[in-house]
Structure formats: C-alpha cells, structure tokens
Structure 1
Amino acid sequence: MCASYGLDPRFTDAEQLAAADAAMLEGLRHWAEQNAGETLRPTGRNLRNLNPVVMPGDDAAVLEQAWWGFLVNGAPARFPSINTRSERLQEKPGSLRGRAIVPSTGWFEMQKPQRAWHEFGLGRGVLFGMAAVTQRGKDPDGEWRTCYSIVMRPAPPQVAHIHDRVPLLLPASFQGDWLTADGSRELIDEALIAAASLDERIAAVERADDKGMDEMLF
C-alpha cells in the first residue's frame, strides 16, 4: 500500500493534472516549498496532517487542505485508512460518494525482505493525480476536516516485484469524471481502465538516501 508520497515544488510537467490552473499550480508549489519538498507523514497522532487535494467546486475544481487518513471521534482511525483497495470500492461503491484527486510527484514503498525504499512516479518533474475517496471528520482540535484515503490497485508487471500495489493514477482525460460523476461500480471500473493507459510510464528508483523513512512513518 502507499506508505508515503511527496510533492516536489520543482515540478515542470503538469499536463497530467487536468484541473490545475495557474493559481492552483502556484498553490501546490507554495505548499511544497513550505514543507521543504519532503515526503508526507501519514498517520502520526501528534501531527497537523493537512495536505493539498483537488476537490469538486461549484463551477470548477478547487484546492483544499485535507487530512490523510480518516478521523473518528477527534483522532486518527484505529483501523488502516490512509489507503483503500480498488476491489473494496467495487464491492461497496457507496464509499465513492466523496472523491478527490491527490497531487503528487512520487510515492514511496519499501521492498521486502530487502527493506529498500523505492520512489515511484511517471518521470522526473511530472506532476500527476492519484484517486482518493473522502469523508468528513473532526481533528484533535475539534475542527471539521475533509479526510482522504488514496485508492490502491494491483501493480503493473514492471514494478510488481518491488511492491504489489500502486495508487490509482488518473489520466488527465478522466479526472473530471472522477470528481463529478455519480459514485457507482461503473465509475471505479472505468477509472481502472483509464489508469491502465499510464501503466507503461510507471517506474521506480531505489532511494539510498531514505534510510530514515522507517522512523518517519507511524
């Protein structure tokens, strides 16, 4: 599953994030710069875990700060919630009522048993969108937040030996449907078909400088 992901402010190719206008791209760069372009910490109980996601708006998509993982009774859920399997959404499409797109330039997984960290992406400097489902929850300060869970699917063959799951990447042509179409079994089926068009571009690079990632993740 997606252990962590990053947003590098130096991205140069934003064609795979269809909803992003100039203001949204600047907002993403500003957020990434404020966080030193570092990977995100997903479930630390004492962290202010707010990250930019693209949400449907009244007239156009909007950027919102959201919490990675679900909040229950003012605290991170006790069950795993930073990721949701695509198979579960096919079985229970009711979870598709709320949806978002998570901007990223790469995600990180550990290859076992080697315990080697790898970064996955679509190429250097490429900004892309990962499918997510959302729900509302109260943070530890009692404020209502949008919470999101990244949708994961089986990995394509060229990276499956490193990790068996990858995020559901949305090509630009399908991102509008993901945000605005009715939530249904057909939607997740169509999203999986659309995502396959990006399979050949998914590549992984071993990160020798990420030996401290184990301590970062809670």
Structure 2
Amino acid sequence: MSSIVDVVGGNRIVPVVVLDDPAAAEPLADALVAGGLPIAEVTFRTDAAAAAIARMARHGGVTVGAGTVTTPAQVDAAVAAGAKFVVSPGLSAAVVTRCRFHNVAALPGATTATEIMAALELGVDVLKFFPAGTSGGARAVAALAAPFAQVRFVPTGGIDASNVRDYLAVPSVLAVGGSWMVPRASIAAGDFATVTALTAEAVAAAA
C-alpha cells in the first residue's frame, strides 16, 4: 500500500479513464507518459475495462489501477488483469476485504465523517472524496481533515484545470482524480496528441 500511496502522491493527479476499446490502452499509456503522468485509473464503466487494464499493465510504462469498483468480483477481475490499486465510489467492507486478500491498495470513496470513521475501522486511511464538486469542494475536504488528521484524500469529480490547485493546496490532499486530460471522445477518435497536450497542461497546472 505504501508504495502505491507514494506513486499516487508523487504524481499528484490520477487520470480517470473510460475506455471503450482495449486497443486504445497502449497508445493512451504512451500519451500519458509523454505528457508527464505515468499513472491511470481505468474505470469499470465499460465492458472493455478488464482487457484495457491488462493491455496497459503489459505496456509497463504506467501504474494502472481500476476504478468504479463496487463488488469483490470486480476486484478479482481487476487484479487478474494487473491493476495495482482499486478505487471505489463508496465504502464497501467487502471490496476492501477482497483488496486486502489480494494485497492491493483500496481507495474507497467517502464524503462524510461517518463514512471516514467506518473506513478507519477497516484500517483504510487514504480515501477518495467523491463526488468532490457537489460535496463541498476543497473547503469540505479541509473541514473534514480537521478531526481526521491521519486521513489523506484523493478528491475526484468536478475537478479540472480551473480548480485543481485549490484542491492540491489542502495539506490533507494526497492527489486528485480527474478526466479532463483524457477526453473520451479524443481517445475514441485516436487523437492521442490532444491527450498528451492536455496531460502536460494538467501537470503544469498542478505544479
């Protein structure tokens, strides 16, 4: 877990990727590396997710995780494909337990003090704050951090180049997740030059 936390925190931004075609995995990985973000969260929002994770994992240039994971079966599929971390929109003890069984990092979602306390009881202290934009934004993260000094957050949802610095300025924020540098339409069109340019801009915005 600590090594993945270091990777996530070192990059400061985790691209949240929706892939409709596994064949796009390798050129997308190349584009992210060229733009300066060798990390990706491939979401289980399409049937192509597991195959895309596998191809990106074999690529070797990026640290790949699975996102939108809501069941233990999806954890199994993600890990079998090569995912190094698992991100969930909410807190599921079953998902966290399955991640622990596979010895992969679990980043469950939480937006309330009650959810954070439940996560801590499960031994999880790195949490996805989701959906960030509609749950109070950076100010809400800062407020929640006050009673939970041991928790680090990865806010996701509604984050883009215009507000990424607001989130990263909060001391408890390890990194942010976002999809603005990996537009689904650009990926589908094979326009990976745009992905590289947007990724480089995101890295610069977070500096």
Same fold (TM over 0.5): no
More helix by share: 2
TM-score (norm 2): 0.31
TM-score (norm 1): 0.30
> Greater relative contact order (Cα 8 A, min sep 6): structure 1 or 2?
1
